[in-house]
Structure 1
Amino acid sequence: MKEIDPKSQAGKKVLEQEIAAASMTGVRRAWNDDSIAKGLNPVKLANVLTDANQGDIYDYLTLAEEMEEREPHYGSVIRTRKLAIEGLDRHVEPGSDDELGQKIADDINNLVQSAEFDDLISALVDGLGKGFAACEVMWQNFKPTTYKWRDPRYFTYAADDAYTLRLRNEDGTAGQHLPAYKFVVHQPKLKAGVPIRGGLARMAALSYMCKTYALTDWMAFCEVFGMPIRVGKYGNGASDTDKTILKRAVANIGTDAAAIIPESMQLEFIQAATSTGGESLFENLANWLDKQISKAVLGQTMTADDGSSNAQSQVHNEVRLDLLKADAKQLAATINQQLIKPYIDFNYGVQEVYPKFVLHVPEPEDIAGLVSGLAQLIPLGLKVPQNFVRDKLGIPDPQEDEELLGVPTAQNTNNFELNRKYAEWVANGYRDPSVASMHSDHPKTKDAVIDVLKELNGKQDHVTDDTDDDLDDFINMTEQSIQDLVTQLQSANSFDEMLTLLNDAQLNTSDITDALALAGIKAFADGVK
């Protein structure tokens, strides 16, 4: 690009004026009806690509534009790849941690998050299909205000330079150099070599042409599908006039289903044996060509052509992940070098380290696998920060006084409520056997009862040594009753006899009930409400 002094009056004027504006006539016409796709055949396509290889890129760029407009599948997949980039989150990484570095980063973040910046991204991703894209930046007081996409046919390459764009002259030759800082030029590196040979349109051009032939033949087939072959017969002495009449009659039967011929002539209808299944030939060819275009543009066919399952499409998203990462990295590098660095130099001076604009490509997460793994590893002692899990699952941190979901433990529900009911029952002098029976099953361990009494009371020091001794007695009585049952079962001589003993067994629960009543009274006396 042609260097200018942006701080000079002349340099500032160049930054603020339009350089490649469209006009009614000339090389940069606002309305352009040129067409290459119309009547495209192998010879014409070969000439277009050969001319592009030699620097005459106008016809190739015209064809690339028409392919996106005329071919629904190519237009769809190229748009999908573009939108995948446009939809990425934008971030700015500060160049330094000092106050100035943070201020510059905040300023750049405001720049890249603006609505106008969307126009820049949209303009530059057009280079994926054509090999390059140029966007003119309109500056005001050394700050970009608008970004204008420019038709790539406004530009060309010099005969001795296949990498640097120049404005196109009226005769198609390379004209003036682009003024520095006025244009952001993105040349995606999809393959090694000169940029114009790396566009996706070039790779898809042959499939596009073949599909055009396939669709044309398919439509012709559909027009006559099911119609029998019509054969007119004339005698040896028929004149040219008779032959013309017969030929017209045969044609009219195909269109009007009516014709008249002399009595001496004959018409015969022959069913075409090869017409059956002909439609699948064209359909299969068109589908195969679509898959080649999908692989060229998206890197895969699963989401575009094969009707994949949800599990498959999670692996093969719209655009293959490695392609999306490369696209995002290259585009961010172009913007950092050609827009953000000049902007900082204009407004803050040259910096030792510059902030970096990044298009963030999220990595696909196997959430089910993560949750399953944590459920197995955490009980084994793995320490996992809550913030890490929340970030992976997309769960925000709870706010103060916010109602939270959770699974209460059995001790906090069953044991707590049972002890409360039993304590109230004992304290009020009632002897309801259903309550005692229900309570006799909970809890079975000394520590569990102590925890429940602590929770009922709410105070650590209310669980006394006396309570602890009573609980020892309770555990001993329970164990004795169970031991008596075990002794009876051991005397059984057969499995059926053991089942009979189990059915007839009666545990003596009176001592257990009294022990629980005593514990309930003490708990109530200690403050149970």
Structure 2
Amino acid sequence: MAESTIVDAHGRPIRKAELKKELAAPSMTGVRQVWHNGIASNLTPDRLGMILRAAENNDGHDYLTLAEEMEEREPHYASVLGTRKRAVSGLDVVVESATDDPADVRLADAVRDLVRDAVFGDLIEDLLDALGKGYSVAEIMWNTRGGQWWPREYVWRDPRFFRFDQATGRELRLIDPENVAQGVPLAPYKFIVHKPRLKAGIPLRGGLARLVAVSYMAKSYTLTDWLAFAEVFGMPLRLGRYNDSAKPDEVDILRAAVANLGSDAAAILPEGMKIEFQEIANTQGGADLFKGLAEWIDKQTSKAVLGQTMTTDDGSSQAQATVHNDVREDIQRADARHLGVSLNRDLVKPFIDLNYGVQRRYPNIRIHVPEPEDLKQLVTALKDLVPLGLKVESSVISDKLGLPDPEKDADILMPEQQAVTTVESARNQSLKTAQNRESVVTESEPDFAEIAEAEDDWQVQLAPLVDPIERLARRVADEGGNEEDFLARLGEVLDEMDETELVRRLASSTFKARGLGDAGDD
């Protein structure tokens, strides 16, 4: 078979004839089957220890089965793990060009078309299955259209179809009839392998299911014991009483009535017999014990998966949840970054190489995590800075606030003073148009010299009015009076106040202002 000159990240040449084949399909009787015996039903501490130790020795079949069942059987674990997955799958996928060179931009546009394909969204969900199990694999079903290679479908493959190499524990290999024990290398450009770096070490030991497995088992025991406790102590004790003259068949009737009363809630007894109900004391403590243990285990699971408990468990305030949500944001960013690395390595590079040849630089897929912004703080800052000369594009602010651009004839919100000015301006313009005349309004600069002259010696002008008030204030203070005493005695100084000089200066200034105004009109 002819080999391509294109090689993958491991230096293996591409066999284009294999790209359209389904290489990891399951079968009914082969080594890759979708049906497996359950693990969780008979899980014991010894059994769990054996499963985890087997995974440590590169036999992850039972561990992966348990991880699958944990998501199916434990509501809290399924909830928080789903929350973590959706925190990434719900983000926007951004394609960045390597440079502004037209050739690089063209490659980025091609990858954007790849990302916009409907099947890409399902791929993200499938790859995030690696969070629980440690790794996830999707097989690319390539097809050619218009002379280009395009993924027709991304098929999620059961992680039990693969195993890691025995030497390093990092190279994932496909279990195949040719080599069941060690597996065969994955065909280049056929598989997208996502191995999130949740911890250092081999991927098979890095899944969240391994971290939560003991808590899952402990909660299973807790719920089993709680149900047994509720069955025994959840109903009052039923006592049947009969007298010494009761016959054996009558005693049997009473025994059956007592035994079935819990479900039938009705009984027929011979005369002289009775059933009594007695509450069992001190049972509340047992119920609280089981409830507290189950809730504590749930909180540990929340910490393991989300990094916090405030947004999932009871007892949190809005402020606490906001603070703890920042911790979850760090995890979200890490998950998004790891997923972007896998997509760029196993999808973007193969797509570009097959269609455009090997490149020095490749477009980059980035899972965009938006920066949280305090919009109220932003608006306050703009209110203070724009009047000082800060230049900001209105479209940028509209985008941040999520507001669309207004239509041409739409009613537009504006400041109240500006709105009044606009209405008055429109009214005046209409009046001028109706009168069919033009007017030019000119404003002259104020004569600051005249203003300064008018304001000169203002203290001398006001002294006859202010001095009597100041003298009264000093007298009241010397006499130990207060503000009310001062206000009550203001009438005493009216005769002392002389407004003659102030009136004379006001009249003179008014006369000058009128004269200057008339001269300006000419």
Does TM-score exceed 0.5, indicating one fold? yes
Alpha carbons of structure 1 residues 306 and 270: separation in structure 2 relative to 1, 3 Å: closer
1:20: how far off?
1.9
Are residues 88 and 483 of structure 1, via their aligned partners in 2, closer, same or farther at CA, if it must alter by over 3 Å? farther
Q: Do structure 1's residue 53 and structure 2's residue 56 form an aligned pair?
A: yes
Q: In 2, Cα distance between the equivalents of 1:34 and 1:135? A: 23
Q: Counterpart in 2 of 1:166?
A: 173
Q: Tell me: CA distance 1:290–1:11, structure 2 relative to 1, closer, same or farther (3 Å).
A: same
Map of 1:490 onto structure 2: 470
Residues 110 and 514 (structure 1), Cα distance of their counterparts in 2 relative to 1, 3 Å cut: farther
Match of 2:344 in 1: 336
Question: How far did residue 285 of structure 1 move?
Answer: 1.2
Change in 2 beyond 3 A, CA 1:397/1:82: closer
State how far apart, in whole Å, the 2-side matches of 1:69 and 1:34 are. 14
SS class of match (1:163): coil
Relative distance call for 1:502 and 1:304 in structure 2 (3 A) is farther
2:151 is matched with which residue?
A: 144
1:143–1:217 Cα change, 3 Å: same
Distance in 2 separating the partners of 1:348 and 1:61 = 39
Q: Structure 1, residues 166-190: CA drift from partner, whole Å, max 9, x if none?
A: 2224796343322110000011111
Residues 10 and 287 (structure 1), Cα distance of their counterparts in 2 relative to 1, 3 Å cut: closer
Provide the secondary structure at the position in 1 that maps to 2:170: strand
Report if aligned partners of 2:127, 2:136 keep a CA contact under 8 Å in 1. yes
Residue 200 (structure 1) shift: 0.3
Shift of 1:483: 5.4
- Give per-residue Cα distances to partners, 1:390-409, cap 9 Å, x unaligned: 55981479779784634649
Check whether the contact 2:14–2:189 (CA below 8 A) recurs between aligned residues: no
Change (3 A) 1:514 1:74: farther
C-alpha distance in 2, partners of 1:123/1:503? 92
Using the alignment, how far apart are the partners of 2:72 and 2:114 within structure 1? 32
d(CA) in 2 for partners of 1:111, 1:501: 92
The answer as to whether partners of 2:195 and 2:203 remain within 8 angstroms in 1 is yes
Amino acid in the other structure paired with 1:16: K
Where does residue 370 of structure 2 map in the other structure?
362
The one-letter amino acid paired with 2:335 is D
Q: Which amino acid aligns with 2:465?
A: L
Aligned-residue Cα RMSD (Å) equals 4.6
Given that residues 477 and 511 in structure 1 are in contact (C-alpha distance below 8 angstroms), is that contact kept between their aligned partners in structure 2? no
Report the Cα distance in structure 1 between the residues aligned to 2:464 and 2:440, rounded to whole angstroms: 35
1:116 aligns with 2:119: yes
Q: 1:132 to 1:226 in 2, by over 3 A?
A: closer
Deviation larger for 260-269 or 276-285: 260-269
1:310 equivalent to 2:290? Answer: no
Q: For residues 350 and 160 of structure 1, what CA distance do their matches in structure 2 show?
A: 31
Which residues of structure 2 form unaligned runs of 5+? 8-12, 243-248, 429-438, 477-485
TM-score, normalisation: structure 2: 0.75
Percent of paired sites with the same residue: 44
Which AA in structure 2 matches 1:183?
F
Asked if 1:12 corresponds to 2:16, the answer is: yes
Aligned mates of 1:325, 1:263 — CA distance in 2: 75
Deviation at 1:62, TM superposition (A): 1.5
1:367–1:393 contact (8 Å) kept in structure 2:
no
Alignment equivalent of 2:281, drawn from 273, 284, 294: 273
Give the counterpart letter for 2:164 in structure 1.
Y
Question: TM-score, structure 1 length as denominator?
Answer: 0.74
Structure 1 residues 37 and 400: alpha-carbon distance in aligned structure 2, compared to 1, 3 A threshold = closer
**CA offset digits 1:8-27 (Å, max 9, x no partner):** 99933311122223445544
Q: Residue 463 in 1 paired to residue 444 in 2?
A: yes
Q: Deviations over 1:54-86 (max 9, x none)?
A: 222222111111111221111111111111111
- Name the CA shift for 1:260/1:400 in 2 (closer, same or farther; >3 Å): closer
Q: Structure 1 pair 308/264, CA: closer, same or farther in 2 (3 Å)?
A: closer
Distance 1:264 1:167, change over 3 A: farther
Q: What is the rounded CA distance, in whole Å, between the counterparts of 2:405 and 2:5 in structure 1? A: 51
1:78 aligns with 2:85: no
Identify unmatched segments of 5+ residues in structure 1.
235-240, 421-455
Q: Name 1:134's counterpart in structure 2.
A: 137
Q: Residue 155 of structure 1 contacts residue 167 of structure 1 at CA under 8 Å; is this kept in 2? A: yes
Secondary structure of the corresponding residue to residue 219 of structure 2: helix
Measure the CA separation in 1 of the matches of 2:440 and 2:462.
Answer: 30
Residues 392 and 273 of structure 1: CA distance in aligned 2, closer, same or farther (over 3 Å): farther
